[in-house]
Structure 1
């Protein structure tokens, strides 16, 4: 654990970046509690980082803290100006949080996630050993090397292009932590801790507080109930690894809450404008974290927006009804068009469940074949009952959207229809399942508040035996969620972040070779190796140029020749290496982290038989070669 304590300064910096840039705007909000202000501060902070990443290359600034500070200053000035302009308009009384329990709950959730992630990753220097980890770690180094974090300039895997869009908010955020953390891997793991431990509990508390203001006690339960939902966020660290999706999905509850705040009644123009700008900042942050998260948030908001449109039309005259109706039609058409255009269907992940199984998993909030827990589902059912009694149908509509998307992803056998609905998430049930938490956990928190009130009533009535019996049942039901948590931790330790000789990607011997390479090859050297063996991580670890920083990409015909023929040492290989400037190669053996693309890089294995390569260094089975036979 000493290695984690050494990352404390980096963790504090990550937390500061998540809160401080947007804090002035959060403090300018009126009529909301402190937890909501914190949630807004986080969303605006990430919106500031996203905006700064786009603006910095336009105004000629390299990526770093300065662009963030400049954009934050502008955003803060606007927020303060609107706060002053809206002074005295409407009710200025702030809603109070259920003190001190909400802060105790948030602190417990924060510390709990820190411990869980530290146990799962074991050491801050352990890299993700999953397929997408290769790209995401190298993308952080790409930003650090180029000084450009713009989502329009992520050309790492398409080096022949000047412009290529990829949502880079995650990578921009991590790159700000690298100088403090000491490396890309440690910065990535520390940032993962910060966003999960801070953003997720605060996001759940924020949405719950905004949606159920009449039951403020519900917000104190939401952060701790998040531990019971296995597929997110831990599932995203064991599948992919889905760092950008993780960040975007963490923001969805805050984005939904910010939209609800913008539609609140009895607001002056200054206060409403500020809330609209907050919602836009949250939208930008979610979109540049990952566009699929934004589309998911919009889908979950559709019932609320339709409900508001209906109420607005019902109170107006014929002209207003026509205008509202036209707006609804145009909005739905626009959403469908964007939904179709954003479709990235691959048919790589197919439905695996029956409709009964998928609905059963929804009922217990234990999706994607996770071990079933017996507390969240009943609590959510109680929350649904309370919402039905209050006739707040749009909340159930939002939850129904997430349920429908999940059932379609997990079960629907008609692939064309399935892909129309969930192709935005690559037809991936895991990514879709996370949306169940957005409304499911706030509803469970509402149910928990009702149960707590009922237990207090039993205590006051003196029925202690019944009270103790119910508490025991609740404790046992809560304990059932520990099995899924244990399974996630075990997978993290044994696969996702395993870092020993049995790792499925990078091994300690290979990382040790990285440490020695700087002294053995020139700075302008270009190295080729099979990225599936972890060789591509040479870029993330050292900044040394590699031909293949990711498994897929558009690297050109010469790179393809090297990938298939380097071991043969043909004249075509020498010509391709000369054009690309390749001087060295690494061979990390036969262990690969993803089998499907193995033949793509057949020529980068068994390099000891190549007539044009000379061994330079070796650590265990990890070998560095120099191209010497092409003269």
Structure 2
């Protein structure tokens, strides 16, 4: 794939993540910055739900059919809005032009930084991520294309990933591939670019619009700063790789923006309390269908403003009306709901399974605290300057009406990270288990509130400088510089330029390395390469020999699992985590001895296995799970015909059945 052909893939991925959400938002009456900020998350919800509905109706999932439920939804919303237009103020007033243009400028700068970081890190537009989880995600997209079905209920069993695996990210990548003809790897990389460089900054701008009101420069500052934090968005595109988790976490700022409207803490609210309810429902659906633990991220952060708003309401009831009993009753009911919700969530089988994961503590408590303060969680390179801005912003926010909840929400995430990174206790497992007890996923939540706090610092310090400068300039003849001293946007903008200079354009070089590592550095290591440069042409040759629809028996640890994503050839094990049980277990242990066991041939015919591929086993060579596939190594008994043999890369036809 050439870079020239990669451009349409990126633009199409951006269109899929903007246009459906814009249509839904405009039908709901949203306008301006908030409509654009919510658009990617609303699009993700519409596409994911559309995929499920089409699967249930037995219709194929294509770019055309995917739009049908979305068009019906937009028409229904528009009809309701038209009906209610005389009774309610359905349409929100547009933002001032300055707000819109500053938001465009900020998102534009962020997009440039994001594109430079990701594209430079990829190395090639269709380069392969050499990580454990990437195999499942690539093949998830391949399965959608193969089945013409984007519903988790159909795709998850195909991947051996249980009954339900969220596919929000994969659905967008699959639509990008269908629309442009890009291969799976190119479409996935295009979706990564758009998620990081557009979806995340727009969500942060939506939150800034609710917290700062119609303050134009705040939109620019927030958007630019959103690309500065390594832990997110960059880190989750390196670790794992956690593409669905990153996709879901990019929605959380939009969720917080809607929550601010619901609980009445937004400044010059651009959503409206009534409208915030369906928006939150849509965002919740999008998050669940992207990666369910992002719902817990939103919930953990949302507890702070919800609790604060309830306590404020109860106090006002007591102070203004003497209804102290009503406030106590509301607080008691709130606690009952929280406890009941906690018990219900922890009773779910899916949550219990997630909590069974255990990532051991790796540092002391003080080290974890220090890492939070310097933005250096989970071995990422410390970001002292940006960390200082977050701390300064937290102090300022504590004394700013409407922003006091943000440092407390930041502290909640910090507490969870410190607990997970430094302790192996029942309390740590109980509270952090919703994120697989994984400090990387929890640390990635810190930038959600960190972006806001850093923006508060830049804007407020700029305001202070403006105050001093305007007093100094009063009565002086400053010529062409005079208007600058009269604009409250000048000094926050200059300070943002300083931040860009000091941080090297938001740590761009560092972030290129973060993206590049799983694509290039790990590919060159003896223990990190899933697919090497010899295997790529070999797999292409295999695809020419093996007809579509015939299953290839394979050891997934040798890279052959990616035959599905690379060339649309069915493989027995599409991921290293595919369950090895039942019929698959028999073949995994005994296929190469089929001439001695008649039961093997029965399973071969049942599963339509016609070939065996043996490739280079270079990934995580010490992992004990590699021992589960002795029957998928080079056969020494009759029943196989060798078709290809290139330096240890072999393809056999199964002839003994």
Instruction: Normalising by structure 1, report the TM-score.
Output: 0.90
* Residues 1:494 and 2:489 are matched in the alignment: no
Alpha-carbon distance between aligned partners in 2 of 1:513 and 1:413, rounded to the nearest angstrom? 46
Q: CA 1:500/1:521 → structure 2, altered by over 3 Å: closer, same or farther?
A: farther
Alpha-carbon distance between aligned partners in 2 of 1:500 and 1:519, rounded to the nearest angstrom? 29
Deviations 1:222-256, CA, capped at 9 Å, x for gaps = 22212321122221122111111011011111111
Deviations 1:49-73, CA, capped at 9 Å, x for gaps = 1211221122221112234322222
The equivalent position to 2:642 in structure 1, one of 574, 590, 615, is: 615
The residue that corresponds to 2:320 in the other structure is none
The residue that corresponds to 1:331 in the other structure is 337
Three-state SS of the structure 2 residue aligned to 1:586 is strand
The residue that corresponds to 1:59 in the other structure is 57
* 1:498-513 mapped onto 2 (5 Å cutoff): 498=523, 504-513=529-538
The residue that corresponds to 1:297 in the other structure is 298
The residue that corresponds to 2:484 in the other structure is none
Alpha-carbon distance between aligned partners in 2 of 1:484 and 1:87, rounded to the nearest angstrom? 54
Instruction: Normalising by structure 2, report the TM-score.
Output: 0.86
The equivalent position to 1:588 in structure 2, one of 603, 615, 637, is: 615
Three-state SS of the structure 2 residue aligned to 1:74 is helix
What is the deviation of 1:273?
A: 3.6
> What runs of 5+ residues in structure 2 fail to find an aligned partner?
318-322, 482-490
What is the deviation of 1:345?
A: 2.6
Runs of 4+ in 1 over 6 A off after TM superposition: 265-268, 469-473, 499-503
Alpha-carbon distance between aligned partners in 1 of 2:512 and 2:379, rounded to the nearest angstrom? 14
The residue that corresponds to 2:110 in the other structure is 109
Alpha-carbon distance between aligned partners in 2 of 1:502 and 1:406, rounded to the nearest angstrom? 29
Task: Determine if contact 2:236/2:243 at 8 Å carries over to the other structure.
Answer: yes
Alpha-carbon distance between aligned partners in 1 of 2:153 and 2:133, rounded to the nearest angstrom? 20
The equivalent position to 1:406 in structure 2, one of 417, 422, 433, is: 417
Alpha-carbon distance between aligned partners in 1 of 2:229 and 2:637, rounded to the nearest angstrom? 51
Equivalent pairs counted in the alignment come to 619
Alpha-carbon distance between aligned partners in 1 of 2:345 and 2:385, rounded to the nearest angstrom? 35
> What runs of 5+ residues in structure 1 fail to find an aligned partner?
none
Task: Determine if contact 1:4/1:118 at 8 Å carries over to the other structure.
Answer: no
Q: CA 1:614/1:144 → structure 2, altered by over 3 Å: closer, same or farther?
A: same
Q: CA 1:457/1:622 → structure 2, altered by over 3 Å: closer, same or farther?
A: farther
Q: CA 1:524/1:98 → structure 2, altered by over 3 Å: closer, same or farther?
A: closer
Deviations 1:403-426, CA, capped at 9 Å, x for gaps = 111111111231x22111111111
Task: Determine if contact 2:435/2:441 at 8 Å carries over to the other structure.
Answer: yes
Alpha-carbon distance between aligned partners in 2 of 1:507 and 1:252, rounded to the nearest angstrom? 37
Deviations 1:69-128, CA, capped at 9 Å, x for gaps = 222223322432454424674695444353533322211111221121111111122122
Q: CA 1:216/1:87 → structure 2, altered by over 3 Å: closer, same or farther?
A: farther
Three-state SS of the structure 1 residue aligned to 2:379 is coil
Alpha-carbon distance between aligned partners in 2 of 1:361 and 1:213, rounded to the nearest angstrom? 32
The residue that corresponds to 2:404 in the other structure is 393
CA root-mean-square deviation:
3.1
What is the deviation of 1:530?
A: 1.0
* Residues 1:235 and 2:235 are matched in the alignment: yes
Q: CA 1:574/1:409 → structure 2, altered by over 3 Å: closer, same or farther?
A: same
Three-state SS of the structure 1 residue aligned to 2:547 is coil
Q: CA 1:493/1:555 → structure 2, altered by over 3 Å: closer, same or farther?
A: closer
Q: CA 1:570/1:197 → structure 2, altered by over 3 Å: closer, same or farther?
A: same
What is the deviation of 1:25?
A: 3.0
Alpha-carbon distance between aligned partners in 1 of 2:495 and 2:54, rounded to the nearest angstrom? 57
What is the deviation of 1:42?
A: 1.7
Alpha-carbon distance between aligned partners in 2 of 1:292 and 1:23, rounded to the nearest angstrom? 26
* 1:110-259 mapped onto 2 (5 Å cutoff): 110-156=111-157, 164-179=163-178, 180-213=180-213, 215-259=215-259
Three-state SS of the structure 2 residue aligned to 1:128 is coil
Deviations 1:336-370, CA, capped at 9 Å, x for gaps = 12442324134442111111111111112221121
Deviations 1:504-527, CA, capped at 9 Å, x for gaps = 101233222332334312334210
Alpha-carbon distance between aligned partners in 2 of 1:75 and 1:189, rounded to the nearest angstrom? 29
Three-state SS of the structure 2 residue aligned to 1:617 is strand
Task: Determine if contact 1:613/1:625 at 8 Å carries over to the other structure.
Answer: yes
Moved more, 424-433 or 321-330: 321-330
What is the deviation of 1:486?
A: 5.0
Task: Determine if contact 1:384/1:396 at 8 Å carries over to the other structure.
Answer: yes
What is the deviation of 1:459?
A: 5.5
What is the deviation of 1:38?
A: 0.4
Task: Determine if contact 1:157/1:553 at 8 Å carries over to the other structure.
Answer: no
The residue that corresponds to 1:70 in the other structure is 68
The equivalent position to 1:557 in structure 2, one of 570, 582, 600, is: 582
Task: Determine if contact 1:371/1:481 at 8 Å carries over to the other structure.
Answer: no
Alpha-carbon distance between aligned partners in 2 of 1:541 and 1:265, rounded to the nearest angstrom? 49
Alpha-carbon distance between aligned partners in 2 of 1:619 and 1:422, rounded to the nearest angstrom? 48
Alpha-carbon distance between aligned partners in 2 of 1:360 and 1:33, rounded to the nearest angstrom? 42
